[in-house]
Structure 1
């Protein structure tokens, strides 16, 4: 049985629209801009991923943080245990297998 994952205090991700690096705080309803961004969107994704990895934040936790901010912290999208190791949302039927 996999250990229940908890949400970190914050994580980094990139905006879909601009590719800039932003920080999401647990429980917040919006993101914070950072000074970590470069003009290169691919580099920004790499920077955000490496920063999260250095803090021990998984892809599942990052996606759950994004889901919580966008859809509400009480929603299933904010539960890192609803994501696989690649950060893909897992439907309940798939979880029971």
Structure 2
């Protein structure tokens, strides 16, 4: 079994609105938040890199079956 180097969740800026949303690993779509800080700051507080957040955004929008999402980032 391949070890996933993606976090269980992270925060990203919605590609259309720019609002901060929460993405959960393996789930399609996102969850709205009421964050008053940036996605980058929120991710830093939970030790999520920008590369991991970008991969998570790709997964939630394009599908989690892409093997490139589980590479060590």
Q: For this structure pair, what is the TM-score category when the shorter chain's length is used for normalisation? A: 0.7 to 0.9
**Number of the residue aligned with 2:55:** 64
Superposed CA RMSD in Å reads 2.0
Q: Where is the helix percentage greater, Structure 1 or Structure 2?
A: 1
- Whichever structure has more strand as a proportion of its residues is 2
Within-5 A mapping of 1:37-52: 37=36, 47-52=38-43
| C-alpha separation in 1, matches of 2:28 and 2:12 | 15
Instruction: Report how many aligned residue pairs link the two structures.
Output: 71
CA distance in 2 between partners of 1:19 and 1:75 (Å): 25
When normalised by structure 1's length, the TM-score is 0.63
Q: Which has the larger radius of gyration?
A: 1
Extract unaligned runs of 5+ from structure 1: 38-43, 84-97
Cα 1:63–1:51 change in 2 (3 A) is same
Normalised TM-score (structure 2): 0.81
The separation in 1 between residues aligned to 2:64 and 2:4, in whole angstroms, is 15
